[in-house]
Amino acid sequence: MDFFTVYHNNSNLIIENSFVREIISFDSIDDILIFRSQERGKFKVFIFTISPVIAEARSEGFINKSVLSAFKFFNKNSNEIKTHFEEKELNTLLKILSDNLDHVFIPNDLENSFLWRETDNSFQIKGIKLIYSKSKLSLAEVLKKHNILR
């Protein structure tokens, strides 16, 4: 498993692993969802953007450039990031988001994420939290918008 580093630089959110650095302008962040994972202390994070996420190799080495090429080949939508975070990384991300975006919702029950359940627009939605919506949409509206809920 790869480990991520999450930080901000100027007006950008940076998410990097051993090989690839993804750069997201705070202004381009549209919606952010977190999903509980089957493993305790792990979460899926979906970040949807208005403009493409910039991906670059962390170094000029052959392996990093090869991984970046594979990443770009398999990443069919450059306006989203779908990744897994440990709880510590997620807490860092949430802190950065709350410092740089308005109306960020930070759940206080990450440990009990298996109990997450919301009713929204007559849908019973389990295991998902809406962290941020630039357009202030509801959870069900964001899920429909990104074709997660039909």
- The pLDDT tens digits for 59-87 are 888 887 788 788 777 777 889 999 889 88
Residue 71 lies in a domain: yes
* φ, ψ (nearest 5 deg) of residue 79: -100, 20
The answer to whether residue 132 scores a pLDDT higher than 80 is yes
CA distance linking residue 87 with residue 13, whole number of Å = 18
Beta strands in the chain (DSSP E): 5-9, 12-16, 20-25, 29-36, 42-49, 54-57, 80-86, 117-120, 123-126, 128-133
Total number of domains constituting the chain = 1
Nearest to 145 by CA among 5, 28, 30: 30
Whether the predicted pLDDT of 101 surpasses 90: yes
Amino acid code (one letter) for 133? S
DSSP state of 22: E
- 54: pLDDT strictly greater than 80: yes
Q: Considering the domain boundaries, does residue 150 fall inside one?
A: no
Q: Tell me, what's the pLDDT at 121?
A: 75
Q: Does the residue 127 lie in any domain?
A: yes
Q: Is the pLDDT of residue 52 over 80?
A: yes
114 domain residue, yes or no: yes
In a domain, 36, yes or no: yes
* Site of tokens 């962390």: 58
Residue 130 within any structural domain of the chain: yes
DSSP state of 27: G
In this structure, are strands 5-9 and 12-16 parallel, antiparallel, or unpaired?
antiparallel
Domain assignment present for residue 22? The answer is yes
Structural domain for 29, as ranges: 5-145
Place of tokens 């950065």: 96
Q: Is 93 contained in some domain?
A: yes
Confidence band, pLDDT 50/70/90 cuts, at residue 1: very low
Name the strands in the sheet holding 42-49, side by side, starting at the edge strand that comes first in the sequence. 80-86, 42-49, 29-36, 128-133
